[in-house]
Amino acid sequence: MKEIRIPGSKSITNRVLLLAAIGDKPVVLYNLLESDDTVFMRGVLSSFGVRFEQQGTGLLVTPPAVLQGDSEIHHIGNAGTVARFVSAVSLIINGEYGLKGVDRMHERPQADLFKALRSLGVAVECQQNDGFLPARYQGLGGNLEQRVVTLSGRVSSQFVSALLLVAPKINGGLRIEMDEIPPSQPYIDMTLEILSSWGVNYSVEEEGRIMDISQGLNEPTEYTIPADMSGASYPSAWATLMRQDLEIKDYGSKTLQGDEQFAEVCAEFGATVSKNGEDCSFSTYGEMSPGAVFDFSPMPDVAMTGMVLACFSEGETKFIGLESLRVKECDRIQAMVDGFALLGIETEVVEDDVTIKGGAYWQTPENITKVQAAQVETDSHDDHRIAMCFGVLRSVLSSRSGIAAEEIFAIGEPHCVAKTWPNFWEDLASWEA
């Protein structure tokens, strides 16, 4: 059985980096993801007085006595978690600071978070368009005008997580009230689990619609970050399509991530998934289930990987719960559909629902020759997940056709995988070997 390892979770890395930065004593973090997004997070936190030092295989994070803004506007690329989490730091920091990013980051909505911050007393000044970065913030130092904030339940789960992460440093804590449960609830559950590890007391009411976070942290001396479950979707899908026995080492017995449910999607496509301690294996493949309907609202970041699985399955597979994909690093629905069209894969899009018409018809030698002749290049839109999805698809197609992957079609902006998996292309090649 082939054994591989995948990077640590980006979602958890940036959450615990922030918690370690606002705590009262040093914390050593292990299995920390080193990627563009986590580098941006560390860069901004460093400017607020947080110290980062390598300690053996871990990273020692030493918080300052007081977080202090430096009046600078910090560039954060297209890092959504950094944009949302560091915006919320305005509730507990002293002084002023700002955030800006690439053009796409300036198109990603922040209005609901800014509205929440303003309702709590933060002065948020948008530099171009209201509700979007770039923006400047005047910190409150933990002293809020009130301790109750209301949000629409349809907002990004990152907005809610951002408020949850800083709540323990707010004088008197924070109560978050939503009119409905957000669609990406597993990400909020993840944040609450991490808060528990940091000794935070909280209560949850009405099935998660209301959360009351108490003031105070009791952080651990060390914390190990589990593997990235969004990242795990790529080798999982690859193994399922290749019918390759594969074991992901250090997968984690408790990943805290809703994207772990992607293993159940692989099972629908024929994989037998089993856990053994901290490891997870994919093996003993049966037939793919045609004509399924999948609701990806609990795990939108891996919906595109599911679409790749569907391309190789006979019949029509429908994907729902994709609304948030329109406002990610790119419009991920359109990016996948456009890429599929270049390869001759038929799809149907109705509002935010996508139907993939999979099967052998687009994998024929005639169609592959046509794609080669057209010198097709799929557009990644500088989005790591789009690039990695088409990387998996191309690898499987190469194996089935006997043609070298790079000769079938090109993948635009391959460097963008550095956002979460800098060595993805080398690792993918090692799976194929």
Residues noted as catalytic = 301
**Using an 8 Å Cβ cutoff, are 226 and 255 in contact?**
yes
Q: What is the end-to-end Cα distance of the chain in Å, rounded?
A: 13
Rounded to whole angstroms, the Cα distance separating 157 from 22 reads 21
**Using an 8 Å Cβ cutoff, are 332 and 386 in contact?**
yes
Q: At CB < 8 A and 24+ separation, what contacts does 202-210 make?
A: 207/181, 208/181, 209/153, 209/177, 209/178, 209/179, 209/180, 209/181, 210/175, 210/176, 210/177, 210/178
- Let me know if 146 is exposed, middle or buried by CB neighbors in 10 A (0-12, 13-18, 19+): exposed
Rounded to whole angstroms, the Cα distance separating 387 from 287 reads 27
Fill in the amino acid letter for 290.
P
Q: What is the DSSP letter of 60?
A: E
**Using an 8 Å Cβ cutoff, are 212 and 202 in contact?**
yes
**Using an 8 Å Cβ cutoff, are 96 and 125 in contact?**
no
